[in-house]
Structure 1
């Protein structure tokens, strides 16, 4: 166990010894001259020897003070270098946590644009549906789905999450062949296979369309945990999936998926940029936020304007 005097007193001594001037040390450290004098006296009492000679308003190091100055200055320089290296490493790496859906359908396709604008900043992207704890992980920012209520975090809304029934062209064609090529109606969805067997989003969408959804116990079957998985299963013809059209606009445009209805629903949820409140002014976080917000919002609005959220 180290038997060191208080580090605050050591820090004051090192500054006062370099300057051989208590007032200059006080200015450097943002302290009063009286506080500097108090810390020096406390350290001298701890050491059991005088560290400065005081004469006519001036101070000079004693032999013991001079012996202490060089190794203490070297120690503070090494500590400063160590923390500077950590700060440099931190500012050179941005760690992002987001949902697998947002990562795979949007962010992973565009994060290269951010890196081209900031070539000296490396990016680590983690796609997981689990909420992270900023206090116990090394993530800098996150993009989360929800209502934006996360105590202690700064949250900025990117765009609303809406959703609608979507399926494969083959699934739609088979249904129409069975029903005389008539248009599908919302009530037709009640008995159709669902990609996720107990998806509550479909029940809400049906209720909003005036369809009575029968009470039923949980159904056996697969329950997928992300739109990425559900969209892929829908393309394979496994049934109806509740998807956000914006994320699947290219698959809809290119005919890998079809959208039977124009109507969408929302739970009031959105995608949000979040970070710890006390870190929102970090340069790398500000740079990412300044890129993400206009890029995501602009892309979302452009898709709507061009009718690509079909």
Structure 2
């Protein structure tokens, strides 16, 4: 910790919002309307970062094809959002738990108890990179609303030193916090209605951006067919029902037929669809999918072209 606080008052995320100067005098309905109006700015912020988000999707997907992993890293709200997005990838896309990982300063305990003081230690960020044995095919996405978190920058610089790609996500413009990483995503939502409380608009737009990144990457990796999650992990009753409905809709089967097909495919929707549409056995369909890196559409197209 520095001996005296660093003045970050010039940062966009720390400034006072003119629209909420009378926040403490608003009625509950006026308060809700103000929050709703301010949250509209998240959509413009995503639009403003569209090219950088698309470039990050390409970078991450290319890295994963080479055996790389994706790490989200942050402190406080930013870290919690990264952990949340990472934890949702295995059930949604049937990814192994280590493919997308979330790291928060302070570890698991910081998910439920504030440990924001740990964000000031750059050396801890660098140490966690070494602890996870991050290598040249990995991608580390550092999340810091204000753009200055030492823990995040320590980690990103250490990742680059190990040959990994580093991407920064921040809610301040480049001229306020310059950075030199492989990706630089700026989500400019403006000052919060409660000055400095970046769990509000900044948190919302960060969640939106992470949704875009992880889903976009999984689409590129063939985890989706049309708009269906054909790699869904069938791990509970709800997800089995979803898998059966996907098979019923796409393969034009009744529920009993779809359930039987799902059972024959070892609860793998993508494999079940390829078996149904091609007439291949489970082992044959599995080999075909593997030959096309798990892309169902590419596998189907290859079978059609060989007819």
| Band the TM-score falls in, shorter-chain normalisation | under 0.3
> Which structure's residues are more often strand, by fraction?
1
TM-score normalised to structure 2 length = 0.23
Structure 1-normalised TM-score? 0.23
Q: Between Structure 1 and Structure 2, whose CA radius of gyration is higher?
A: 1
Bigger helix share: 2
